């Protein structure tokens, strides 16, 4: 029986559209006590999560919808202080509901903008396409993003962003498919977690694009 392709979490930077080097991440605040949710379930913020800017200037988990206003991808955490007494720790996530009161203790994340960059992302099903040629036929089409929700570790719930490959279309969507990943992890195109390459199509970056192409 075929084994599913290894799942990799979230959006992973592959390259810049113009061939330039890895972009410099920008630092943003996450509001004190901010709690991201997916399907009414609390989740943490993790490396690979898509984020958007809130009206307060802080970052929050990107919301799926029409239009989507995704801004970028979390690539690291520059300041996470949790527990009592507050203590900085090396984290690959920001626990939901983390509170802070001073600039020293503020939750800060590092984000790379979606725009101008190519990203790898896992597909959310294994029935829409089952061959390499079928996936290649989607290049140039658009897809929305969905959250699969990973609560296998109840102490570390994750949004688990994936590409909603079932709604591929030539009209509009969150992301434009620009290729099939050449990663060795694409072992079986008839199995789950096939990895595609995408670029942002609907974005919260200036100039604000709502409808995509």
Is the four-CA dihedral 55, 40, 171, 16 of positive or negative sign? positive
**Residue predicted with more confidence, 179 or 2:** 179
Q: What stretches of 48-138 adopt beta strand conformation (E)?
A: 50-53, 59-61, 72-79, 81-82, 87-88, 93-94, 107-113, 117-122
pLDDT of amino acid 166: 94
Residues 57 and 52: their CA atoms lie apart, in Å, by 10
Residues 11 and 1: their CA atoms lie apart, in Å, by 29
Q: What stretches of the chain adopt beta strand conformation (E)?
A: 12-16, 26-30, 36-38, 41-43, 45-46, 50-53, 59-61, 72-79, 81-82, 87-88, 93-94, 107-113, 117-122, 142-147, 161-169, 175-180, 195-200
Please name the residue that has the structure tokens 């970056």.
Answer: 205
Rounded to 5 degrees, φ, ψ at 196 are -115, 165
Among the ranges given (5-9, 59-63, 152-156, 169-173), the one the predictor scored with the smallest mean pLDDT: 169-173
> Could you tell me what percent of the chain has a pLDDT over 70?
90
pLDDT of amino acid 3: 87
Encode pLDDT of 28-66 as tens digits: 999 999 999 999 999 999 999 999 988 899 999 998 765
Mean of the per-residue pLDDT values of the chain? 90
pLDDT of amino acid 211: 60
Rg of the Cα atoms in the chain: 17
pLDDT of amino acid 1: 47
> With 60 as the cut, is the pLDDT of residue 115 above it?
yes
Encode pLDDT of 160-204 as tens digits: 999 999 989 887 888 999 999 999 999 999 999 999 999 998 877
Residues 194 and 192: their CA atoms lie apart, in Å, by 6
């Amino acid at each position: 029986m075929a084994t599913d392709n290894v799942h990799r979490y979230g959006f992973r930077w592959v390259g810049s559209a113009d061939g330039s080097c890895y972009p410099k991440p920008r630092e943003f605040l996450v509001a004190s006590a901010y709690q991201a949710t997916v399907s009414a379930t609390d989740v943490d913020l993790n490396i690979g999560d898509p984020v958007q800017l809130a009206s307060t200037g802080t970052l929050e988990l990107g919301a799926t919808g029409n239009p989507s206003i995704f801004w970028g991808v979390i690539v690291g955490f520059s300041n996470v202080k949790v527990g009592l007494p507050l203590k900085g720790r090396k984290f690959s996530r920001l626990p939901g509901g983390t509170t802070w009161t001073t600039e020293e203790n503020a939750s800060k994340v590092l984000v790379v903008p979606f725009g101008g960059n190519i990203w790898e992302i896992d597909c959310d099903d294994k029935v829409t396409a089952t061959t390499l040629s079928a996936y290649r036929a989607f290049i140039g089409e658009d897809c929305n993003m969905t959250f699969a929700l990973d609560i296998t570790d109840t102490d570390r719930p994750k949004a688990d962003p994936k590409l909603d490959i079932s709604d591929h279309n030539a009209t509009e969507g969150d992301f434009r498919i620009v290729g099939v990943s050449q990663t060795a992890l694409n072992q079986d195109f008839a199995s789950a977690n096939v990895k595609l390459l995408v670029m942002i199509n609907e974005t919260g970056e200036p100039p604000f694009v709502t409808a995509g192409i």
